[in-house]
């Protein structure tokens, strides 16, 4: 099974959105800063997430994205599926033409594994992830990092301003 960057980033961004949803709409710029995902890539992912009904956008000052349903109602498999990410462990994309146009000996084993992975991710909601202690710790660390970068920029800016005065 391959879960590419697209699927991983989509889940990460949705988890970030869910963590910060209580503060109102979340900008992609804020998610980008916290998670180190390029803004243009997030825009592409969120277009797909919006088309699949997982997020909605809020325009205007203070706008951004919000979950379209409660975090307990959105599972990880839905997010991965929404960005057209395959959770397929077969070499043939489930077509059964893996060995000279026919099913290979282990085709059904890899099909079963793919189904098990999808089922596993379907049983994990964003809410369940948010409630995990380690997720809370990481989110706190990321928030501190963002505040530290902002403070550093403000100090540098004020030093530059005082030099030019």
Q: The tokens of 8 are what?
A: 């991983």
DSSP letter at 63 equals -
CATH-assigned architecture of domain 5-89+110-159: Orthogonal Bundle (1.10)
Return the domain boundaries, the chain.
Answer: 5-89+110-159
CA distance 71 to 130: 9
Residues contacting residue 88 through CB under 8 Å, at least 6 positions apart? 1, 2, 94, 110, 114
User: Residues 75, 76, 77, 78: is their CA dihedral positive or negative?
Assistant: positive
Query: For residue 13, what pLDDT band results from cuts at 50, 70 and 90?
Result: very high
What confidence score (pLDDT) does residue 162 get?
Answer: 64
pLDDT tens readout for residues 86-143:
778 888 888 888 888 889 999 999 999 999 999 999 999 999 999 999 999 999 999 8
Residues contacting residue 18 through CB under 8 Å, at least 6 positions apart? 67, 71, 74, 126, 127, 129, 130
What confidence score (pLDDT) does residue 61 get?
Answer: 86
Q: Provide the whole-model pTM.
A: 0.82
pLDDT tens readout for residues 56-94:
999 988 899 999 999 999 999 999 999 987 778 888 888
């Amino acid at each position: 099974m391959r879960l590419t960057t697209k699927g991983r980033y989509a889940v990460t961004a949705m988890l970030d959105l869910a963590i910060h949803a209580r503060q109102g709409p979340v900008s992609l710029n804020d998610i980008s800063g916290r998670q180190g995902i390029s803004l243009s890539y997030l825009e592409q992912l969120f277009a797909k997430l919006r088309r699949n009904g997982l997020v909605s956008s809020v325009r205007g000052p203070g706008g951004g994205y919000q979950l379209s349903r409660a975090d307990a109602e959105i599972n990880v498999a839905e997010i991965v599926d929404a960005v057209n990410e395959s959770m397929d462990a077969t070499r043939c994309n489930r077509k059964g033409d893996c060995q000279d146009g026919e099913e290979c000996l282990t085709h059904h084993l890899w099909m079963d594994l793919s189904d098990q992975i999808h089922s596993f991710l379907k049983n994990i909601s964003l809410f369940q992830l948010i409630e995990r202690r380690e997720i809370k710790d990481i989110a706190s660390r990321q928030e501190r990092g963002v505040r530290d970068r902002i403070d550093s920029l403000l100090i540098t800016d004020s030093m530059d301003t005082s030099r030019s005065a």
